[in-house]
Structure 1
Amino acid sequence: MLTALPGIPLFQLYGESHTRLDTDLLHCESICARSRLHHWEIKPHRHAELLQLLYVQRGEAQVEIEGTRSVIRQPAIQVVPPLTVHGFRFNEQIQGHVLTFGATRVAELEQRLGSPLSVLAAPRCYPLGQAHRRLHTLIDALQQEYQGNAPARAAMLQALVTTLMVWISRQQHDQPPRNRSERDRQLLRLYQRQVEAHYREHLPVDTFAARLGITSAQLNQLCRELTGQSALQVIHQRLLLEARRNLVYTRMSIGQLSDNLGFSDPTYFARFFKRLSGQTPNGFRRSAPCA
Structure 2
Amino acid sequence: MHNDTAIHHDARAEAIEPAISRRVIRIGRPPQRWFHHALLLLGGVATVSTNTDDEPLSGPALALFPPSEGESLTIAAGAHGYLIGVSPEIIGEAIGDHAESLSLRLYSGSHSLADHLEAESIRELSPLFTGLIAELHQEGRAARMVVAAYTRLILMAAWRLQGADERSTARPSSTGAILQRFRQSVEMNYRQRRTISEYADELGISTDRLHAICQRTLARSPLELVHDRLLQEAKLRLERAAHDVQDISDSLGFRDPANFSQFFKRKTGVSPTKYRSLAASASATIPLSSGYADWP
TM-score (norm 2): 0.49
